[in-house]
Amino acid sequence: MRLADFILRDIERILAQWEAFAVTLRPAAASMDSLALRDHARPLLEAIAADLSTPQTRQAQSQKARGRAPQLADAPHTAAQTHALLRARSGFDINQLAAEYRALRASVLQLWMDGCAPGAPHVDDIIRFNEAVDQAIAESVRSFSAEVERERNLFLGMLGHDMRSPLQTIRVTASLLARMNAGEGVSAAANRLMRTGARMQALLDDLCDFNRTELGLGISIVPAEVDLAAVFADETDQLRAAHPDRRIVLEAPASLRGVWDGRRLQQVLCNLVVNALRHGAHDMPVRVVMTGDGTEVRFEVRNAGAAIEPSLLRRIFDPLQRGPDAGARKGANLGLGLYIAREIAAAHGGTIEVRSDERETVFTVRLPRQALIQRVR
């Protein structure tokens, strides 16, 4: 008997073995009924049987063996993809998902071969069946991983949102203690608490911004007419106060007016300057140089020091990238600052670039005079 015919004829026996194995995948399967345990197994087996009965070219065989079979235009989700989504939402892990397919492969082939005896099974059917299962595994793993990533991002978004209120309470309380004039010791402790709270807030803001981009929401901006020179002067003063042992030089014209989200561009400047302070030469200043013309403005953050390694330079704007000394460096961040700076620049319709040699490292941001409102999410 050909394998496709056997699968359709004995599908209930196969499903019974699928269910018997699925129920052992604890703890996720502990509270699942028969219908949930067999989730999408029937349409999956029917799809495999149909595939076995369909003529196949060498190219199609090669693509399917690599998990790259074309998807039907009228079937946006295969049974394998939907099965993976539901397993992810039911608390299965990826190893349990793969184990289901291993058990399915073994039980189908064993039942079929027993049914073929004493005759010999068709070798081509075995090859085609294994290809179909491999394709189903590839589809399932991709969908399962995407769903886990989506749920992780939603969790991070909720966590970031819920942490804002208690953190704000800590910062406000510390500020109140500092104003109470309760003694030098209390004031010093309150100031430390405020600085720590500010660092935590910056990390939380970076995490929330990263989470928005991962969910496809993009960086939100609220453009308004601002004087970028004045905005950056204010941010530079704050950076100098936070890093009194370092020199930060701002070179800017008297005014640079345009339509931007000033708070977001302060965030870009802060991320770039803090990055320069961390990695630049401590005995040399970090310079912020602003210029502009009728259509765009440009600002550069320059620092002297060792050149950035070419391998790191190529991926420096990727998220979660940190320097080689990040683990040992006090106050190391999440490695999101440069990624977020790039996303904010892009949300304004601008760009950010970097060049680095043995003399200096320069980050250059170019922005149109008016943020592209259609880029706002």
Per-residue pLDDT reduced to its tens digit, 100-148: 999 999 999 999 988 877 777 788 889 889 988 988 899 899 999 888 8
> Smallest Cα–Cα separation from 8: which of 41, 34, 46?
46
CA distance 357 to 288: 18
More confident residue, 130 or 242: 130
Please indicate, yes or no, if residue 64 is contained in any of the structural domains.
yes
Query: Is 375 a residue whose pLDDT tops 50?
Result: no
Could you tell me if 140 and 24 lie in one domain?
Answer: yes
CA distance 60 to 123: 18
> Smallest Cα–Cα separation from 299: which of 330, 344, 339?
344
Pick from 37-51, 194-208, 279-293: least confident? 194-208
SS3 224: strand
Tell me which residue range forms the domain holding 272.
224-375
Please indicate, yes or no, if residue 343 is contained in any of the structural domains.
yes
Query: Is 283 a residue whose pLDDT tops 60?
Result: yes
Could you tell me if 194 and 95 lie in one domain?
Answer: no
Could you tell me if 316 and 232 lie in one domain?
Answer: yes
CA distance 72 to 75: 5
Query: Is 32 a residue whose pLDDT tops 60?
Result: yes
Could you tell me if 241 and 162 lie in one domain?
Answer: no
Could you tell me if 108 and 240 lie in one domain?
Answer: no
CA distance 136 to 104: 11
Query: Is 205 a residue whose pLDDT tops 80?
Result: no
Could you tell me if 110 and 237 lie in one domain?
Answer: no
Please indicate, yes or no, if residue 235 is contained in any of the structural domains.
yes
Per-residue pLDDT reduced to its tens digit, 56-113: 787 877 777 666 766 654 445 788 999 998 898 888 989 999 999 999 999 999 999 8
Under the banding of pLDDT at 50, 70 and 90, the label for residue 175 is confident
Please indicate, yes or no, if residue 111 is contained in any of the structural domains.
yes
Number of domains, the chain: 3
Please indicate, yes or no, if residue 219 is contained in any of the structural domains.
no
Could you tell me if 334 and 200 lie in one domain?
Answer: no
Please indicate, yes or no, if residue 171 is contained in any of the structural domains.
yes
Could you tell me if 199 and 337 lie in one domain?
Answer: no
Boundary of a domain, candidates 131, 153, 175: 153
E runs forming strands in 58-139: none
Alpha helices for 243-308 (secondary structure H): 262-279
Could you tell me if 123 and 181 lie in one domain?
Answer: no
SS3 170: helix
Please indicate, yes or no, if residue 51 is contained in any of the structural domains.
yes
Could you tell me if 68 and 163 lie in one domain?
Answer: no
CA distance 348 to 69: 40
Per-residue pLDDT reduced to its tens digit, 301-352: 999 999 998 888 888 988 766 555 554 444 445 577 898 899 899 989 999 9
Could you tell me if 140 and 180 lie in one domain?
Answer: no
Q: In the structure, how many helices (H) and strands (E) does the chain have?
A: 13, 7
Could you tell me if 265 and 123 lie in one domain?
Answer: no
CA distance 266 to 236: 9
What pLDDT, on the 0 to 100 scale, is given for residue 73? 46
Boundary of a domain, candidates 153, 169, 199: 153
Query: Are the beta carbons of 343 and 315 closer than 8 angstroms?
Result: no
The domain spanning residue 76 has which CATH number? 1.10.490
Boundary of a domain, candidates 137, 153, 169: 153
